[in-house]
Structure 1
């Protein structure tokens, strides 16, 4: 007898919620990267130091990890994951609205915090919901949909801001109002659309999950999980620097110092990262993470050399290479976690992995901001290059991903 999950009617019924889940992730990632080309504008308008700029970015990351820590296990226990996803979309919209009408730093900080909280709540729950749909219809689409949504949202954000800057089309408001509209329409679609029942957990498994905490379930896989976290922290730390400082760094190599042109470097990074994830998804975790680590180290050293010699074109090329390394490391870490995580704690452990990535990237960007103010941009980037090389060497020599 054919499994009921393979019926055409079920395939059709799952298409709509998957689409809106993808749009929810796009909206969340828009909130992450849309401000990137505008940081230099805010800094010139209000005259704050680099450490304040990095704190603004880091607050978003801290908001994400707080929400991930709070919502990961809750998502596995609720009968409908929309109970987390819909309020999270509301926070993303409110954060974007604050940015759209901000006239001082306090509003930017509050907007970034709300955007981070919304993104963190969405990330674990929406990814887990996509995995639930895989279990329902046997079409393994979760990883591909999440990759497309993450890449599309992260790349579209700086493109919108850069275009608004170039056209002088209310650059401080219009990109964020677009995200507000997208988040609200997506939430309405999820609320009114047809939502399949979450797969029932077997009674014995449900009873075991009620007694066993995610941290206890982590014990048998703690060594590979720690190495997956380390790989993600390296990738996200480098990625965070491109998102937060990439436009400023590229603008410093251009004769015009154009922030609009500099903002496109973030889009290029995200697009190459997404393409890399598709190309590397058939690789096993260990070679994918090792390849990603090597590319991250080589690309960041190349970016520093480009800054030294004022070569904007080579900075852009090494940015694409960094995105490729980021994508390989990310898909290796997330793919391996999906294989080793117990099903009843999938949402919690997925969130825990993201907590490690966001915490590491937040601490890194805060430290770099302070170092930039202390010794200057180029020396700080050189110090970072040395740290990335050392971390990559450690990951390449490790054998504990499996």
Structure 2
């Protein structure tokens, strides 16, 4: 394979993946500032967030075939340049429309980085797929956790909270762009490959496994959407603080706990781990509702960390379980269906929560929304008992 002589390329790509996912969560602790300065409702926050998810979905469905035909490197160069462009738009933003534009650019860029970067990693180490999957899962959550927390600290204690955090990320993005420029192509391009949108379809033979994995991930990503858009403000209001670091720490700690769960799950049975993650997520959601009601900062932080751990377990194990049962000839179709549902769950319930919060208030809709998601998690866990578990290879 063309890029295997560059040993640094593999960890560099891992770093680019972590940076991309980190940038996707960077605005999370800043939405409260935007809402306060521009006086917009919760639904506006969730629409801005959903713009990212929908753009990422489009990118996920088309970037794979483009990179197969033209190579990984041109797509990654374009995507990292998109990260830089989106950060510049954020720094210059003076309206909600600019935020939406920045989020769309980042959605397209991060979706491409996830798909094409993961493919490039497999190009470099084709016999190390399981370990690469675990590493990228950890990297995704570590990237989000560190970036959200660092952004909150920078915005709270540094100058120009709506500019400096993005500028710091732009510097890192510039280094990532340089790494991709220096990196050799990892894929033997094939100009005869037809460009296409991945077609969503699930073979009947794996329908129960797909329902189990997809419902668990949809429930988990519904939580993720609210966590990255509304939860920092919800948590801060609950404990009576306007310090951005608290909201950032709650979300960042949850993401880091999700990364830890990916390590703990390791080579454990994916079905059992996913069931534990689904049920644990449901229970943790109830505890988060109680913590918000009580308003104790430490209790809320602990509950958020627990939620992150079980969320990570549910998401990672569900995805790995699905990977074990995928027929070789249907991988693109099934993963297309999976991502359509996952990103739909990231965007649509978040918008619904924003509309309800605007009409009835965040305090009023928080518990019912979390209750609905918890019920979906329980249903996913029950479905897990109806499918056959497979022991993941080491």
Q: 1:221 to 1:82 in 2, by over 3 A?
A: farther
Question: Does residue 157 of structure 1 match 2:157?
Answer: no
Size of the aligned set, in residue pairs, is 385
Matches within 5 A, 1:1-400: 13=5, 15-75=7-67, 77-78=68-69, 80-135=71-126, 138=128, 140-198=130-188, 215=200, 218=203, 220-342=205-327, 346=331, 349-350=334-335, 352-398=337-383, 399-400=386-387
Q: 1:199 to 1:94 in 2, by over 3 A?
A: closer
Q: Report SS of the residue matched to 1:27.
A: helix
Whether the 8 Å CA contact 2:217–2:342 is kept in 1: the answer is yes
| Deviation by residue 1:2-24 (Cα, 9 ceiling, x = unmatched) | xxx9xxxx997353221221122
Stretch moving more, 83-92 or 233-242: 83-92
Q: Report SS of the residue matched to 1:30.
A: helix
Whether the 8 Å CA contact 1:61–1:358 is kept in 2: the answer is yes
Whether the 8 Å CA contact 1:235–1:330 is kept in 2: the answer is yes
Which 5+ residue runs of structure 2 have no aligned equivalent? Answer: 390-394
Which 5+ residue runs of structure 1 have no aligned equivalent? Answer: 201-205
Whether the 8 Å CA contact 1:281–1:331 is kept in 2: the answer is no
Q: Structure 2: how far apart are the matches of 1:354 and 1:264?
A: 28
Whether the 8 Å CA contact 2:65–2:195 is kept in 1: the answer is no
Give the equivalent residue in structure 1 for 2:392. Answer: none
| Deviation by residue 1:255-287 (Cα, 9 ceiling, x = unmatched) | 333223212111101100000011013222211
How far residue 61 of structure 1 moved from its aligned partner, in angstroms, is 0.7
How far residue 171 of structure 1 moved from its aligned partner, in angstroms, is 1.5
Q: Structure 2: how far apart are the matches of 1:394 and 1:134?
A: 37
Q: Structure 1: how far apart are the matches of 2:19 and 2:334?
A: 23
Q: 1:165 to 1:246 in 2, by over 3 A?
A: same
Q: Structure 2: how far apart are the matches of 1:401 and 1:364?
A: 30
